[in-house]
Structure 1
Amino acid sequence: MYSTNSSAAFQVSNESNNGLLFIPSSLPGFTQSGVYSRIDASGNHSIYQCDGVLCEVTDEERICPVCGQKMHIKSSRSITLRHLPFGFTYIHITVKVQRLFCENGHHTQMRSIPFRAQKHTITTALESYIEDLLASGCYTLKEIAERTGVGAHLVGEIDKARLSRLYTDQTELGPVLKKPDTCSRYLAIDEFKLHNGHKYATHIIDLETGHVLWIARGK
């Protein structure tokens, strides 16, 4: 089970914690309030559901970006994020997040979750783990999705963003491919069937490394 104490390596099971093993979650600002286990929809995996709240709202967070006045807590809602799996068990973190509002009616916003990955309902730790699995080149998108408990489509989005960081530069006109350090000496071009065989795609590979250099629909 996950603990909010990031300094301890492991907390040994004893009578006070009902025989559970506590591991530091490394989630900044998260205070765990409860945990329970359940089975996922497929019936093949166990899920540890960890509930908790964010730390106290800081004075900096309360400042309205429009008028500079102090904002107040209006309401709260729970957001569930997928976290690093523990063996073959998936971990879900449900955190209660407050909504702040300006009494002058200028602004309202949800508090940001410091450990949430941008654009995804997973933690930054899980996002980094997925990127490591992708970089290893040993797993397909489906295998990574099964290992981490996220959808294959999400794994594909993370892979696309990872490749974009590695091989493109951001300019005023948009992303531009980086110039490679070395040039290929031997190229191979081939086409293959798509779907039911009535459509084709063409790809170019480096014969020495096996890397796919270009791929597109059509012959």
Structure 2
Amino acid sequence: MSDMSIKPYFPFCRVRFERQSVSPEGDLARIKARPDARFRPMCQVCRAPAHGVHSKTRRALRDLHMGAATVWINCEYRKVYCSCCQGARVEDLFFFSPYQRVTKRLARYIHDLCKVLTVSEVARHLDLDWKTVKDNDKVFQEDEFGATDYNGLRILAVDKITIQKGHKYMTVVLDYESGRVVWLVRDRKADTLRFFFKGMTEEQKKALEAVAMDMWDPFIKVIDKVRIAEKKKAETTELEVYKGAKYLLLKNRRNIRTAAARAHLQRLLDMNENISKAMILKDYLKRIWSYSRRGWAQKRMDEWCALARTMDNQDVTKFADMLERHPYGILNHCDYPIHTSKLEGVNNKIKVIKRKAYGFHDQRYFSLKVIQFFHSN
């Protein structure tokens, strides 16, 4: 008689295995198990010894493959009375969690696979529903990255990323020095960031020295408003020049690659004085960030604001007023020459993560996946 046993492959000390069956093709194995009577039942929630059995039931649990065979464990378990929890609870057999349909070790395997594969790829590989895969991976993600890690933060970078059409954004907070994504949450409002800082202790807030934020978007909108206003005033014969000019005006000139595009831009600038002035202001504004002394930067910013007002354009004047009200954003750059280019690279990687998975229906899960990616890279 053979002494071989499957017990070593199932080191679950609080259960006994009664029988097994394997399909003729060898691709499906079913194992029947029940609680080991030598152990007193234990509450799944508080781990306290139970004082009585409420009822018995069974559950089919997927386990790790054994060779080519898909393994199902049909396990009996008890609901017990727990005096600590003051009610009936599922007993703790240690190898599965309440309301889960997979064993803990299979759940861990799913989580490990999700680090390198998409949810749909893992689901196909294990022949599981994609929601089961996602939910199991999310449990591990919440345990490891669910709480925001504020430790060691000195310099931050903050930006937004588009997640859906229709102006749907998420706010990204990056540890500028380590490249770690600290926080990723829906919306880009002031209250969104207040919620982030609310989670910090006073000591952690005092440790922050600088935050890099993109001020370029507001001026990009100003340039586009100037273009639209000038287009409305243009004669019919000039309208052709304005077509396709939006992104030519917003790009840096060195990024305009083709000769046709450069000629198109030059024709527009030669034809319209106000648009030409707006482009000059755009190039002049970028130079202010090259100064390392606050006095020189302040002087050049005052000159820029005075020059901007000569355009006699309401939108440009409003932007100049905004700069004068908040000069510290630029002047602080003299002390901390940081910028959001590092965050732009991070945003591109985040888009790749989203595109690889064909989008994420669960934004919380998406945030956790991004934080995990940058934590391990």
- TM-score scaled by length of structure 2: 0.37
Larger Rg over CA atoms = 2
User: Which amino acid letter does the alignment assign opposite residue 120 of structure 1?
Assistant: Q
**1:56-205 map, 5 Å:** 56=37, 58-59=39-40, 61=42, 71-73=51-53, 75-100=55-80, 108-135=88-115, 137=116, 139-169=117-147, 177-179=148-150, 189=161
Q: 1:77 to 1:168 in 2, by over 3 A?
A: closer
State the shift of 1:83 in Å.
Answer: 0.9
CA contact (8 A) 2:161 2:347 kept: no
Secondary structure of the corresponding residue to residue 211 of structure 1: helix
Q: Which has the higher helix share?
A: 2
Aligned sequence identity (%): 13
User: Which amino acid letter does the alignment assign opposite residue 127 of structure 1?
Assistant: A
Higher relative contact order (CA 8 A, sep 6+): 2
Q: 1:188 to 1:100 in 2, by over 3 A?
A: closer
> What per-residue deviation string (whole Å, max 9, x for no partner) do you get for residues 55-102 of structure 1?
11645749xx9xxxx844464222111111224421111112234469
Say what the alpha-carbon RMSD is for the aligned residues: 4.5
Secondary structure of the corresponding residue to residue 116 of structure 1: coil
Q: 1:99 to 1:206 in 2, by over 3 A?
A: same
State the shift of 1:110 in Å.
Answer: 4.0
C-alpha distance in 2 between matches for 1:29 and 1:90: 23
1:31 lines up with 2:16 in the alignment: yes
State the shift of 1:125 in Å.
Answer: 0.7
Q: 1:130 to 1:206 in 2, by over 3 A?
A: farther
> What per-residue deviation string (whole Å, max 9, x for no partner) do you get for residues 11-49 of structure 1?
xxxx536xx87352122312111111249xxxx993211
Q: Structure 1 residues 144-153 or 71-80, which shifts more?
A: 71-80
CA contact (8 A) 1:186 1:207 kept: no
CA contact (8 A) 1:186 1:206 kept: no
Q: Which has the higher strand share?
A: 1
1:51 lines up with 2:32 in the alignment: yes
> What per-residue deviation string (whole Å, max 9, x for no partner) do you get for residues 83-140 of structure 1?
11224421111112234469xxx854442322113441211111111111112x2x11
Q: Structure 1 residues 21-30 or 47-56, which shifts more?
A: 21-30
C-alpha distance in 2 between matches for 1:211 and 1:118: 36
Q: 1:206 to 1:144 in 2, by over 3 A?
A: farther
C-alpha distance in 1 between matches for 2:349 and 2:144: 15
Q: 1:180 to 1:90 in 2, by over 3 A?
A: farther
C-alpha distance in 1 between matches for 2:40 and 2:162: 61
Q: 1:168 to 1:97 in 2, by over 3 A?
A: closer
How many residues align? The count is 175
C-alpha distance in 2 between matches for 1:160 and 1:108: 27
C-alpha distance in 1 between matches for 2:158 and 2:56: 59
Secondary structure of the corresponding residue to residue 16 of structure 1: coil
Q: 1:81 to 1:29 in 2, by over 3 A?
A: same
Q: What are the ranges of 5 or more consecutive residues in structure 1 without an aligned counterpart?
A: 1-14, 170-176, 194-198
Q: 1:157 to 1:181 in 2, by over 3 A?
A: farther
C-alpha distance in 1 between matches for 2:26 and 2:17: 22
User: Which amino acid letter does the alignment assign opposite residue 146 of structure 1?
Assistant: R
CA contact (8 A) 2:41 2:92 kept: no
